[in-house]
Amino acid sequence: MNDRMRLFDCIDLQLRKFPKTDMFGAKENGQWITYSTQQVQDIVNNFSAGLLNLGLSGRDMTAEGSDKIAIISNNRPEWVFTDLAAQQIGVILVPIYPTTNPNEIEFIFNDAQVKYVFVSNQEMLTKIQSVAPKVASIQGIYSFDNIDGCKHWSNITASANEASLQQVTSLRASIPTSQIATIIYTSGTTGVPKGVLLSHNNIFSNVKLSKESFPFEDAPESKVLSFLPLNHIFEKMVTYIYLYSGIGIYYAESLDTIGDNLKEIKPDGFTTVPRLLEKVFEKIMTTGSQLTGIKKTLFYWAVSVAEKYDNLEDGGIWYNLQLALANKLIFKKWREALGGNIRFIVTGGAACQVKLLRIFNAGKIPVYEGYGPTENSPVICVNRKAKDGTKFGTVGPPIDGIEVKLAEDGEILVAGPSVMEGYFKRPDLTAETVIDGWLHTGDIGIWVDNKFLKITDRKKELFKTSGGKYVAPQPIENKFKESPFIEQIMIVGSERKFVGALIVPSFTHLKAWMLHKELPFTTNADAIKQPAVLEKYTSIIEDFNQYFNHVEQVKKFELLDKEWSVETGEMTPKLSLKRKVVMEKCVAAIEHIYKD
């Protein structure tokens, strides 16, 4: 891999070094179907030629001048075919989360002047059809599924001819590494999304440096399961690490089928976000709670042993013997549930609970936490496979080849080839965010052991109590989420006398506890009003408050009966909390906390 490669060069490299029978895999009509490297090259070249026949081009190879196409789809091989096909002719891809609301889609399409849209299914088609009349630039919509009344994407590949294929060959050779490969829109502080301009050089440099630093070795016999949205730069960038490493990519049918797909594919790894790991762990613990006798005793004993695990400190002979036994009796079954071959899980997008990192790694399920914003393509730091390369509770050392420093207020600044070209049509925001080559991330951090970076909070999420004391909510929330009784939590208290908390209970655990206590459970709404339940959560709050200083301790809380989700608007597609939305929706609950 040299520094002058473009993202789409992965196909040629793979054909030269390790041509595969399963460059991509997906389930079609209940069966896993694979695409070889040669098949992918043929499909992508025909796709590029067909896009040219639609009149699309890279024009003058600038962000403003190049044509744009959009994609709104679940993860599938066609997603990457579209990405690669557009890149080869200088056309810019604008990916949209399937959960994005129509108003935002309308803004993005008009801002980018999108000409064609690719959708996965009927649901996405219906959403785009409601928006299309308000976007004058749209010339057509194509679907990946066969849908009555919508053109299928294969019509484009079928239109390829010798002349357009020759044109593709010529254009491929002329695409500079400075060409914008994608515009990824992220939520804006002004209320409208911001288009992050990422060039081939931006993303490829992050691919190369991350691959070398982690490291990802060339592994043509390996495979991964992909389910994080490809619309997010993390999964997109990691996709190219896999492609440049010869690793086969299989796409999960949906988030609901991940468990089954893991057992079917038996992958070597996958990427995820902490929220999904939390749900996996909760499911495991629920299963454990249903055991009886010696099996239940052994299960909880194994978990308690794992909670003490530290990869940087030898626990001693007795501890190591216990951990070995726990792995043989209990954690072996956990590994089998994940397919039995997991060598790495990389998590990012939000802070992962240290408790989960200890337990999974103790159980020989290696979870590595990393960090980086879209504006850096994205990775800044990642914990490493090396024995001393991981420290729980941090996002690891910076990847090689970039510079990271902390501003006076602790804000994380990064410089290097992965830093974005800027915000589309927003030179004002670009100038505020990239200063003298340094990207200002908006995240606050500290160095641990002069090597590992620890994220302490978002700069804009720090708040002051009415007493003038600063509070960082994320560390408090992450600690409280270690309780099996807490599904979700948001710390509040800006300009208030004390810190409060909105808590969504884990109703699975709460219901089991209530039944054990012979308390009636009818509905979530009724359960959270019962005195015994309120007393239980008061006890939990008091237990965790000891980990924080007086100003940070939760003085009062409100229990909520509904989980926050992407569908209801409180979570981002990468399952991070939208604090502003929660604050707006829970005004009454917050006011109740501070009513006295």
CATH code of the domain containing 482? 3.30.300.30
Residue pair 70/96 in contact (Cβ under 8 Å)? The answer is: yes
Domain residue limits at 162 = 7-175+214-269
| Spatial separation of the C-alpha atoms in residues 272 and 277, rounded to whole Å | 7
Asked whether residue 377 is assigned to any structural domain, the reply reads no
What token pair was written down for 47? 């796709």
Distances (CA, A) of 21 to 238, 253, 333: 20, 20, 30
| Spatial separation of the C-alpha atoms in residues 50 and 245, rounded to whole Å | 29
Closest CA to 270 of 243, 235, 311: 235
The three-point CA angle 33-39-42 to 5° equals: 140
| Spatial separation of the C-alpha atoms in residues 191 and 474, rounded to whole Å | 23
Asked whether residue 187 is assigned to any structural domain, the reply reads no
Of the candidates 269, 294, 314, which is a domain's last residue?
Answer: 269
Query: Residue 100 gets which letter from DSSP?
Result: -
| Spatial separation of the C-alpha atoms in residues 130 and 115, rounded to whole Å | 16
Tokens 């060069």 belong to 9
Of the candidates 231, 251, 269, which is a domain's last residue?
Answer: 269
| Spatial separation of the C-alpha atoms in residues 89 and 92, rounded to whole Å | 9
Residue pair 400/209 in contact (Cβ under 8 Å)? The answer is: yes
Asked whether residue 35 is assigned to any structural domain, the reply reads yes
Asked whether residue 374 is assigned to any structural domain, the reply reads no
Query: How many Cβ atoms sit within 10 Å of the Cβ of residue 443?
Result: 23
Query: Residue 330 gets which letter from DSSP?
Result: I
Q: Roughly what angle, to the nearest 10 degrees, separates helices 274-289 and 507-516? A: 20
Query: How many Cβ atoms sit within 10 Å of the Cβ of residue 291?
Result: 13
| Spatial separation of the C-alpha atoms in residues 69 and 48, rounded to whole Å | 12
Distances (CA, A) of 343 to 113, 206, 214, 364, 367: 43, 22, 13, 9, 9
CATH code: domain of residue 74: 3.40.50.12780
Asked whether residue 423 is assigned to any structural domain, the reply reads no
Query: How many Cβ atoms sit within 10 Å of the Cβ of residue 455?
Result: 22
Number of independent structural domains in the chain = 2
Q: From first to last of the 596 residues of the chain, give the pLDDT tens digit.
A: 777 899 999 999 999 999 999 999 999 989 999 999 999 999 999 999 999 999 999 877 788 999 999 999 999 999 999 999 999 999 999 999 998 889 899 999 999 999 999 999 999 999 999 999 999 999 999 999 999 999 999 999 999 999 999 999 999 999 999 999 999 998 754 468 899 999 999 999 999 999 999 999 999 999 999 999 999 999 999 999 999 999 999 999 998 999 999 999 999 999 999 889 988 998 999 999 999 999 999 999 999 999 999 999 999 999 999 999 999 999 999 999 999 999 999 999 888 999 999 999 999 999 999 999 999 999 999 999 988 999 999 999 999 999 999 999 899 999 999 999 999 999 999 999 999 999 999 999 999 999 999 998 888 788 888 887 878 898 899 899 999 999 999 999 988 999 999 999 999 999 999 999 999 999 999 999 999 999 999 999 999 999 998 889 999 999 999 999 988 989 887 788 889 899 999 999 999 999 87
| Spatial separation of the C-alpha atoms in residues 25 and 34, rounded to whole Å | 4
Residue pair 262/337 in contact (Cβ under 8 Å)? The answer is: yes
pLDDT at 351: 84
What token pair was written down for 279? 């749900």
Phi/psi at 344 (5° precision): -160, 145
pLDDT at 190: 47
pLDDT at 465: 86
pLDDT at 348: 92
What token pair was written down for 513? 């506890």
User: Which residues, at least 6 apart from 321, have a Cβ–Cβ distance to it below 8 Å?
Assistant: none
The three-point CA angle 113-117-120 to 5° equals: 150
Could you list the beta-strand ranges (E) of 273-410.
344-347, 367-371, 381-382, 403-406
Bridge partners of residue 143, in order along the sequence: 119, 152
Here the contacts of 169-172 (C-beta below 8 Å, separation 24 or greater) are 171/48, 171/52, 171/58, 171/88, 171/89, 171/90, 172/8, 172/48, 172/88, 172/89
Closest CA to 392 of 335, 342, 449: 449
Asked whether residue 410 is assigned to any structural domain, the reply reads no
What token pair was written down for 148? 């009555």
pLDDT at 189: 41
User: Which residues, at least 6 apart from 380, have a Cβ–Cβ distance to it below 8 Å?
Assistant: 371, 372, 373, 395, 398, 399, 402, 404, 412, 414, 441, 453
Asked whether residue 299 is assigned to any structural domain, the reply reads no
Asked whether residue 452 is assigned to any structural domain, the reply reads no
pLDDT at 191: 61
Closest CA to 24 of 341, 249, 217: 249
Query: How many Cβ atoms sit within 10 Å of the Cβ of residue 551?
Result: 14
Distances (CA, A) of 71 to 79, 228, 423, 428, 431: 8, 15, 20, 28, 29
Of the candidates 269, 288, 316, which is a domain's last residue?
Answer: 269
Q: Is 375 exposed, middle or buried (0-12, 13-18, 19+ CB in 10 A)?
A: buried
The three-point CA angle 83-16-91 to 5° equals: 20
